[in-house]
Structure 1
Amino acid sequence: MAGWSLSPTLFADQIEEDLTDMQRQIVIELVREVLTNAPVDKGGYMASNIVTIGTPSYEISEALDLTGEATFQAAVSAISTLKPFSTVYLQNNQPYAELLEFGGYEGPTEKVTSAGYSRMSPMGVYGISFIAVTEKWI
């Protein structure tokens, strides 16, 4: 006899829960990677890595975080209410964030490479973090 031996509705809730747990794990890993790859001068960039659910944030944080611990805890707290099929945003709105990611800073400083990248993050932050996490989950 063709068909299901059990109705799919019996395990649909479990699948949604498993997917949400997986999404939460991926977000946590991505935040860890971003914080590991983030350059630290005064801690403004580190503290400005913001996680939101459903809508992006346009906030520019004035907070400082030299270790990334407070930023990580804020991210974990933000995804504690994650619901199935939600969109999660991880972003940094500091005005200089694009220069850290894509290079191009022009100015006399020993803190940047000749291509304008931070010497602490010469390959950017978000792009290499995304690649590292993607490689783990694919």
Structure 2
Amino acid sequence: MAGFQEEVAAWVAKTNAKMELAVRKIALDVFSEVILMSPVDTGRFRGNWQVAIGDVPAGTLEIEDKDGTATISKVQAATMGLEVGQTIYLINNLPYAQALEFGSSRQAPGGMVRLAAQRWQPIVEKVAQELSRS
């Protein structure tokens, strides 16, 4: 019976690893969409997306990231530590963030967060398909 227990334990470990990978990839994909949909003038707004696990980030950053590369890299680094059951936050604390989300920019009239939230299910399905092949 030890062989069966070992097989079950291996299956559980593999399943847990896939779940963590899925959670990380979904967070990265959704957050990347938000960042890349963010309107760009100087790049300050795009560069002020902050990510944290467990705690809501406070304050603002003095960074300009017009193409989003640096900000997405920070998100990618943070998601590497994400585990199933944890809460991950993506926050933009600039005073005009809410106005931009609710249509004050011609570049993003539908916002960023709301549009990414609408894409949640397709993103989850895509990640699930990718992981089912492995």
Q: Would you say same fold, with TM above 0.5? A: yes
Please state which band the TM-score falls in when normalised by the shorter chain. Answer: 0.7 to 0.9
Q: Deviations over 1:65-84 (max 9, x none)?
A: 11100001111111122223
The normalised TM-score by structure 1 is 0.78
Q: What CA deviation, in whole Å up to 9, does each residue of 1:72-105 have, x standing for no partner?
A: 11111111222232111112111111001123xx
Q: Which moved more, 1:20-29 or 1:50-59?
A: 50-59
TM-score, structure 2 normalization: 0.80
Structure possessing the higher radius of gyration over alpha carbons: 1
Q: Per residue, is there more helix in 1 or in 2? A: 2
Note the residue ranges of structure 2 that are not aligned, 5 or more in a row: 126-134
Aligned mates of 1:94, 1:56 — CA distance in 2: 14
Q: Alignment identity in percent?
A: 28
**Paired residues for 1:52-67 under 5 Å:** 52-67=52-67
- Post-superposition shift, 1:36? 2.1
Counterpart of 2:18, as a letter, is: D
1:54–1:89 Cα contact (<8 Å) kept: yes
Tell me which residue corresponds to 1:27: 27
In structure 1, list runs of 5 or more residues that go unmatched.
104-116
Shift of 1:15: 2.1
The match for 2:109 is: 122
